């Protein structure tokens, strides 16, 4: 997937991040009865380790598209780990991450393309501080990177809470892998924002400026994320409370017997 993103045009990266990955996760959900033939704890452990390794590889990337692509792999690893649990609230959390990632990742690829069309470069050393000259674009960089690192009160956080909960119930040691993944995701998101907005820029390459089409595309990526947060807030604590009461009454004995 990182190679495909690097070679694809902007619209190809947006379709791949916003549509095709989501169809793959939906296909995994639809054919879960095949996946159940494999011990699900093995799948969860495999996907969480993959998410951690993808986050570590992201720290070594010098190409903006490649960095965002590896961050997408990290998100999808956590998401598939939640799907492989095959519990009601875990699956709901995975689909919430799926929706948030579809808007956030495609918007980040579009932001990368806005500067690539002007200076024909994607390397971090070249684009340092380039977005500091475009205030509105730098604000969009900030919000989409905050959403990407799954900070409150945005949508991805509501999807991660049940995954953390059920992973902790399955194997308490796996929560360390999830915690390290979250740490490295936050690190490269903050590093990316500091580099593209606050780094020392090369003045000879010119400044970025906002176009109406660019702002419209970014706004239409941002508004659904805000609206869905408002919608989810009404039902989230109700669903979580029902799930916790269910496992409190039934007990964890049947849950542990499924391992």
pLDDT tens for residues 170-216? 777 788 888 888 888 888 888 888 888 886 655 444 445 557 788 88
The pLDDT of residue 176 is 85
The pLDDT of residue 38 is 62
How many whole angstroms separate alpha carbon 231 and alpha carbon 234? 6
Q: Does the pTM exceed 0.85?
A: no
Across 89-125, b (16+ Cβ under 10 Å) vs e yields bbbbbbbbbbbbbbbbbbbbbbbbbbbbeeeebbebe
pLDDT tens for residues 206-256? 445 557 788 888 888 888 888 877 776 555 555 555 555 554 444 444 444
Instruction: State the burial class of residue 52 (Cβ atoms within 10 Å of its Cβ: 0-12, 13-18, 19+).
Output: buried
The tokens for 222 are 């941002």
What is the count of structural domains for the chain?
Answer: 1
86: phi then psi, degrees, rounded to nearest 5: 55, 45
The pLDDT of residue 253 is 45
The pLDDT of residue 86 is 61
**Which of these, 176, 2, 1, 25, lies nearest to 99 by C-alpha position?**
25
The pLDDT of residue 201 is 56
When pLDDT is cut at 50, 70 and 90, the band that residue 32 belongs to is low
Domain membership of residue 158 as a residue range: 2-257
pLDDT tens for residues 102-158? 888 888 888 888 878 777 778 887 777 777 777 888 888 898 988 888 887 777 787
How many whole angstroms separate alpha carbon 144 and alpha carbon 226? 11
- Averaged pLDDT for residues 45-53: 83
pLDDT tens for residues 62-90? 888 888 888 888 888 787 777 776 666 77
């Amino acid at each position: 997937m990182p190679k495909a993103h690097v070679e694809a045009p902007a619209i190809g990266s947006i379709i791949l991040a916003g549509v095709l990955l989501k169809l793959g996760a939906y296909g995994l959900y639809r054919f879960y009865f095949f996946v159940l033939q494999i011990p699900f704890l093995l799948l969860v452990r495999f996907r969480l380790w993959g998410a951690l390794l993808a986050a570590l590889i992201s720290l070594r990337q010098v190409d903006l598209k490649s960095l965002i692509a590896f961050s997408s792999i990290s998100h999808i690893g956590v998401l598939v780990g939640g799907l492989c649990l095959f519990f009601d609230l875990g699956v709901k959390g995975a689909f919430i991450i799926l929706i948030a990632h579809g808007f956030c990742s495609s918007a980040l690829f579009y932001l990368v393309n806005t500067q690539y069309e002007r200076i024909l470069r994607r390397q971090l050393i070249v684009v340092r501080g380039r977005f500091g000259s475009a205030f509105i674009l730098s604000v969009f960089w900030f919000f989409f990177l905050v959403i990407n690192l799954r900070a409150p009160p945005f949508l991805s956080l509501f999807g991660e809470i049940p995954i953390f909960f059920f992973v902790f119930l399955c194997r308490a040691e796996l929560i360390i892998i999830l915690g390290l993944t979250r740490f490295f995701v936050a690190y490269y998101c903050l590093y990316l924002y500091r580099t593209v907005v606050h780094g020392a820029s090369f003045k000879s390459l010119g400044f970025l400026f906002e176009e109406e089409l660019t702002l419209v595309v970014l706004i239409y990526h941002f508004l659904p994320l805000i609206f869905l947060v408002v919608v989810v807030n009404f039902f989230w604590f109700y669903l979580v409370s029902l799930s916790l009461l269910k496992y409190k009454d039934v007990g964890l004995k049947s849950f542990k017997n499924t391992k």
